[in-house]
């Protein structure tokens, strides 16, 4: 092995150690903010967020803030990812629909909890890139589709849980229909530049729907039509 090759290996190892430390510190911060679910915290520790942001922003991957990923879209703030995941009460074997794949980070976190994830993305290039990224990183339980999330993923329904990572003006009826009795959905509802609230939607055994406002948030809008 040449000195250059050895130096490159040592540099890569040091970078990985730094990123692991930063990730663990971030998850500790998220836990201190109130996310307590063990499966959620373990998933956040396991997923390398730097793999899901543009290379130029990799050194900012473990800050607790959203980052741009192109097309006017963002990768969500890690605390919000943790909070929304916890609200779904993740467990192995769950079938989850995600609306708004983005770079694939939220889908990876859900997969780490043992869930099977169907995720839809309205931007074709983001869907393709996320699918390739998730496969490269070994997330075999995630399937990505280029589609309008307002219509969900009818063929795969019903879902134990649904998570929406863009703000809708209303809760799409198709998503309510595709939620299994006993299931939970977390969705930001509100206008861009206006008031948005993260809403927990629950469907009881009889199919009755109840909603609860959880906290104010700010998300990019949930778009209609193929992009």
Check residue 16 and give its pLDDT.
66
> 99 forms bridges with which residues in the sheet?
120, 164
Check residue 183 and give its pLDDT.
97
Going from the C-alpha of 118 to that of each of 14, 56, 96, 191, the distances in angstroms are 35, 29, 6, 26
Which tokens in the block code for residue 101? 């794949």
Cα Dmax for the chain: 68
CATH number of 3-216: 3.40.50.150
Q: How far apart are CA 138 and CA 146, in angstroms?
A: 20
Q: What's the N-to-C CA distance of the chain in angstroms? A: 48
What predicted TM-score, i.e. pTM, was given to this entire model? Answer: 0.91
- Residues with Cβ < 8 Å from 141, sequence gap 6 or more? 111, 115, 116, 117
Check residue 14 and give its pLDDT.
46
Check residue 188 and give its pLDDT.
97
Mean pLDDT of the chain: 92
Segment 174-187 mean pLDDT: 98
- State pLDDT tens for residues 94-153: 999 999 999 999 999 999 999 999 999 999 999 999 999 999 999 999 999 999 999 999
- Residues with Cβ < 8 Å from 214, sequence gap 6 or more? 83, 87, 186, 197, 198, 199, 200
Q: How far apart are CA 21 and CA 15, in angstroms?
A: 10
Give percent above pLDDT 70 in the chain.
93
Which tokens in the block code for residue 115? 């869930």
- Residues with Cβ < 8 Å from 23, sequence gap 6 or more? 44, 45, 48, 49, 62
Check residue 5 and give its pLDDT.
36
- State pLDDT tens for residues 79-94: 999 999 999 999 999 9
Segment 62-75 mean pLDDT: 96
Indicate the length of the chain as a whole number.
227
Active-site annotation, residues? 76
């Amino acid at each position: 092995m040449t000195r250059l090759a050895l130096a490159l290996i040592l540099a890569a190892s040091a970078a990985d150690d730094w990123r692991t430390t930063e990730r663990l510190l971030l998850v500790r911060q998220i836990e201190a903010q109130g996310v307590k679910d063990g499966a959620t915290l373990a998933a956040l520790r396991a997923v390398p967020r730097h793999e899901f942001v543009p290379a130029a922003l990799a050194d900012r991957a473990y800050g607790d803030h959203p980052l741009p990923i192109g097309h006017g879209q963002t990768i969500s703030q890690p605390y919000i990812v943790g909070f929304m995941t916890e609200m779904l009460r993740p467990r192995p074997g769950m079938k989850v629909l995600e609306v708004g794949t983005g770079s694939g980070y939220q889908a990876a976190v859900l997969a780490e909890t043992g869930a099977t994830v169907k995720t839809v993305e309205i931007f074709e290039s983001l869907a393709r890139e996320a699918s390739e990224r998730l496969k490269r990183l070994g997330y075999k339980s995630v399937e990505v589709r280029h589609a309008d999330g307002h219509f969900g993923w009818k063929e795969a329904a019903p879902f134990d849980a649904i998570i929406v990572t863009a703000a809708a003006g209303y809760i799409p009826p198709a998503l309510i229909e595709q939620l299994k009795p006993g299931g939970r959905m977390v969705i930001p509802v509100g206008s861009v530049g206006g008031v948005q609230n993260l809403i927990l939607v629950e469907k009881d055994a009889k199919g009755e729907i109840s909603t609860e406002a959880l906290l104010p948030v700010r998300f990019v809008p949930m778009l209609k039509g193929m992009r």
